[in-house]
Amino acid sequence: MTTPNAAQSTSNAIQLLGYVLDAQVAQTLKSTIRQDQYPRYVALVHSREAVRELVSALESPASTTYARCELTGKDGRGVIAVPFTALRSELQFALRCIYLFREADVPQWLQRNWLTYEVTEFARPDRAEGTHITVPLEIAPPWEALPPTYVSCMAQARRIALLQQVLQPGAFLEPVSLLVDDRAPEYRAYRAAPLGDLRAGAREHLEQTGQPSWYCMYDSNLAAHPLLQPYWRRFMLCRVDEEG
């Protein structure tokens, strides 16, 4: 199976000290430290449930800058971080997560073995690649945080009929070709709906079909996005056939 280059596209990394704090300790922090000593980021180990929790706590999921977070000297692709200030004010000290501080701001009364993390914000490339990656719908990030360009399925009559059910009136599916060399032609042919052509509640409707048939398509320059990075081994490259 062909996969895109998963190289990270990032700005400069910074090193912070972090530890998992529960909500009770976090609330104590709020009342004992100055605002200029607040954490710089919060982080969670990546899972569908953790990402949903984190996104639901954000003031503006679509405009949040997401970051990769890793223990110094270890592979940390499965940890995602967001700026502390991106959380809604009432939830800034309410999550059980990794609170990340500058070393000078670590509260002295917390006698813990603080760990050093490297936090690297994702820098979205300016140009589109012209190709897309597919991510199974059941593990794709919440659309309000990282909306796909298309939702697709294999070009089989039953699946196409189900996808057409969530289209806006007058919208059409576009042909897509998987850029893989280990499948017969009929298994490389897909159909895709632009996200803007879907009805409200389309994702929930497709998930309720109980079929692992649906894919979110993201421009391939997002392959290193922290919300997608844990799944890079499942990516497939594809191209929309704009000429039909």
The mean pLDDT value for 77-105 works out to 93
Lowest mean pLDDT among 15-24, 114-123, 180-189: 180-189
Q: Is residue 111 part of a domain?
A: yes
Strands 79-83 and 10-21: unpaired
Q: Are residues 109 and 15 in the same domain?
A: yes
Lowest mean pLDDT among 3-7, 133-137, 215-219: 3-7
Q: Are residues 99 and 165 in the same domain?
A: no
Q: Are residues 113 and 169 in the same domain?
A: no
Q: Are residues 117 and 140 in the same domain?
A: no
Q: Are residues 26 and 83 in the same domain?
A: yes
pLDDT at 158: 93
Cα–Cα distances in Å, from 84 out to 26, 52, 59, 184, 229? 12, 17, 11, 48, 21
Greater model confidence, 153 or 182: 153
Q: Is residue 199 part of a domain?
A: yes
pLDDT at 176: 97
Show which of 64, 98, 122 is a domain's final residue: 122
Show which of 77, 104, 122 is a domain's final residue: 122
pLDDT at 202: 96
Q: Is the pTM of this model over 0.85?
A: yes
Name which of 126, 112, 10, 27 is nearest 69 in CA terms.
Answer: 10
pLDDT at 4: 46
Confidence of residue 75 (pLDDT cuts 50, 70, 90): low
Confidence of residue 244 (pLDDT cuts 50, 70, 90): very low
Report whether pLDDT(1) > 80: no
Q: Are residues 94 and 137 in the same domain?
A: no
Beta bridge partners of 237: 133
Tally of domains within the chain: 2
Lowest mean pLDDT among 5-14, 102-111, 130-139: 5-14
Q: Domain range holding 22?
A: 10-122
- Please write the tens of the pLDDT for every residue from 108-123: 887 678 899 999 999 9
pLDDT at 10: 45
Q: Are residues 136 and 117 in the same domain?
A: no
The mean pLDDT value for 53-66 works out to 96
Q: Is residue 127 part of a domain?
A: no
Residue 136 is encoded by which pair of tokens?
A: 């199974």
Q: Are residues 77 and 137 in the same domain?
A: no
Q: Is residue 49 part of a domain?
A: yes
Q: Is residue 168 part of a domain?
A: yes
Cα–Cα distances in Å, from 24 out to 1, 39, 44, 95, 101? 47, 16, 17, 9, 18
Report whether pLDDT(52) > 60: yes
Q: Are residues 148 and 108 in the same domain?
A: no
Q: Is residue 5 part of a domain?
A: no
Element (H, E) at 51: helix 48-56
For 130: left if phi > 0, alpha if psi spans -120 to 50, otherwise beta; the answer is: left
Grouping H, G, I as helix, E, B as strand and the rest as coil, residue 162 is: helix
Q: Are residues 192 and 112 in the same domain?
A: no
Q: Are residues 136 and 65 in the same domain?
A: no
Handedness of CA 173, 178, 184, 185 (dihedral sign): positive
pLDDT at 3: 47
The proportion of the chain whose per-residue pLDDT surpasses 90, expressed as a percent, equals 69
Q: Is residue 2 part of a domain?
A: no
Show which of 122, 141, 168 is a domain's final residue: 122
CA distance 244 to 240: 9
* Site of tokens 């990340």: 100
Q: Is residue 4 part of a domain?
A: no
Q: Are residues 33 and 106 in the same domain?
A: yes
Report whether pLDDT(241) > 70: yes
